[in-house]
Amino acid sequence: MSHLLLLEDDLSINKYLSELISKSFNLLESFTYLTTAKHYCSNNLIDLAIIDIGLPDGSGFELVEYLTVMQPSAKKLVFTIFDDSEFFLKCVRYGIDGYILKDAEEVDILDTISKTLNGHSYISPKMARYLLDSEKTISNKAYQSNYFNLTPREKDVLRLICIGHSYSDIASQLNLQLSTVSSYVKSLYSKMNVKSKNEAAYKVFKHGAITVD
């Protein structure tokens, strides 16, 4: 059974989310302070941390960084009220595994937790559009990065997928058969462990970014 941790300083939201999560998952502990959450993680292994960023004694990014170093297999899911592109991309640069807004429906919250636990980086459609709208950045990173051990042609296909081209568009631009494009997509999705172009775009950003603003 997966072990979850919640870090949320708003008591009412903490209580609501704790009760919701406990219906479907094993919530080990919930915290309202960064220091107590970090102390718990220093003595206990977790599978996923659901993290609010604005905390009374620091930033939730500190827990993200701590887990990245001390528990690299633990997933980090940001639970936030912020839906602007600048904040979202900062989260991506910190290496989060998922991002969901606090006003999301209960079913979407639970689905996001499940997907994140299963290794699929979930982002909301609005956040995905921020990535897909950043054509030049995604294009460059998709083409230059060798993080996923893609072939040159797979990287060409990935670049076009990430900026929103259809399979038929890609086939035309790369002078390929539609079935060949489909095969490339299936192969690169498998290598990247993703199931959609939104998730692929997210991972291009996540592994292409090397600095934290």
**Is residue 213 domain-resident?**
no
In a domain, 48, yes or no: yes
User: Quick one: 142 and 115 in the same domain?
Assistant: no
pLDDT at 177: 95
% of the chain at pLDDT higher than 70: 82
CA angle 102, 104, 107 (to 5 degrees): 130
The answer as to whether 143 is a domain residue is yes
Task: Verify that 114 and 26 share a domain, yes or no.
Answer: yes
Same domain, 117 and 203: no
Structure tokens at 82: 């912020």
Phi-psi region of 175 (alpha: psi -120 to 50; beta: other; left: phi over 0): left
Task: Looking at the structure, tell me whether residues 117 and 141 fall in a common domain.
Answer: no
Distance separating alpha carbons of residues 179 and 71, to the nearest angstrom: 41
Residue 165, pLDDT score: 78
Asked, for residue 194, whether it belongs to a domain, the answer is yes
Among 123, 139, 173, where does a domain finish? 123
| pLDDT above 50: residue 210 | no
The domain of 24 spans 3-123
The reply to whether 75 and 146 lie within a common domain is no
The whole-number pLDDT of residue 213 equals 31
Instruction: For 20-44, write each residue's pLDDT tens digit.
Output: 999 999 999 999 999 999 999 999 9
Assign 138 a pLDDT band (cuts: 50, 70, 90). Answer: low
* Pair (193, 158) in one structural domain: yes
Name the phi and psi angles at 11, rounded to 5.
-60, -40
Residue 51 pLDDT exceeds 50: yes
Does one domain contain both 189 and 141? yes
In this prediction the pTM is: 0.70
Question: In total, how many domains does the chain have?
Answer: 2
pLDDT tens-digit series, residues 174-195: 999 999 999 999 999 999 888 7
Task: Give the CATH number, domain containing residue 12.
Answer: 3.40.50.2300
Of 10 and 159, the one with more pLDDT = 10
- CB contact at 8 A, 13 and 58: no
Model confidence at 136: pLDDT above 60: no
Q: 144 and 83 in one domain?
A: no
Most confident of 2-11, 77-86, 91-100, 189-198: 2-11
Residue 11 within a domain: yes
User: Would you state the pLDDT for residue 137?
Assistant: 58
Average pLDDT, the chain: 85
